[in-house]
Copies of this chain bind each other. A is one copy, B any other.
């Protein structure tokens, strides 16, 4: 059995490309369709109801393109909208929060976990809930980091300015002696080096991206929905769609994905 339909992946902008990269790396024969809502990025400071509606429109668009599953590669959208979306569509939908939370539960030794996230994700307590559904005895400290995304999108991913901002966010987590920290925003893998330096070698840094890609592979394989290639060279193609300027998406996006972005179509979804 072969299911050639693409995997749909969406994010408010380019951050979700870190998740797409992990999916393409682990499942090279799968077609993917990525949607970046660049016209309305960022979602972090918005109202949850607004984010829910944006997410609904985008999943509807992806379903119209006949995707076999949807990955919400945006912590903010996953935290705000995942449950509503799962109840609204027949296609399976997963987010990035649960896989990241699960990894933290598996990794922490002292059962003290930190989460770095956007304001909306931190306020939603989505990670805390996801961790507690697995281990109710783990202490979860969620830290909103509103300055990270603007800095990263400006290309500032290391150096004294970023370090000073990061130190401010990490200090409360370190004071609470967490030994596992989840990067609860798809932008943050780009600044994992300075974060690691500040936290030190004893604290494990968890990126939801890799964990989510593992879950995608497990679901497709268990359901018999993987695409079977014609031969080993028959790799899956990647299609990119965004809601604003395609060139800007391609330029900014190639920083998040280790390959050049070839075709970007602006969508009339929204």
What is the CA–CA distance of A90 and B157 in the complex, to the nearest angstrom? 37
* Copies of the protein in its oligomer: 2
Residue from A89, A92, A108, A109 whose CB has the most chain B CB atoms within 10 Å: A92
Smallest Cβ-Cβ distance to A134: which chain B residue: B98
Q: Is the CB of A223 within 8 A of B90?
A: no
A interface, size bucket: 20 to 34
Q: Does A106 contact B (CB under 8 A)?
A: yes
Q: Is the CB of B223 within 8 A of A107?
A: yes
Q: Which of B93, B106, B132, B138 contacts A223 (CB 8 A)?
A: B106
Q: Which of A6-14, A80-88, A185-193, A257-265 contacts B (4 or more CB under 8 A)?
A: A80-88
Q: Is the CB of A133 within 8 A of B136?
A: no
Distance (whole angstroms) from the CB of A90 to the closest CB of chain B = 7
Q: Is the CB of A106 within 8 A of B219?
A: yes
Q: Does A137 contact B (CB under 8 A)?
A: yes
Q: Is the CB of A136 within 8 A of B218?
A: no
Q: Does A135 contact B (CB under 8 A)?
A: yes
| Complex A-B: 10 CB contacts under 8 Å | A84-B136, A86-B135, A86-B137, A87-B137, A92-B135, A98-B134, A103-B222, A106-B218, A109-B223, A133-B133
Closest 8 pairs (CB-CB, A-B) = A86-B137, A83-B136, A86-B136, A87-B137, A106-B222, A133-B133, A106-B219, A107-B222
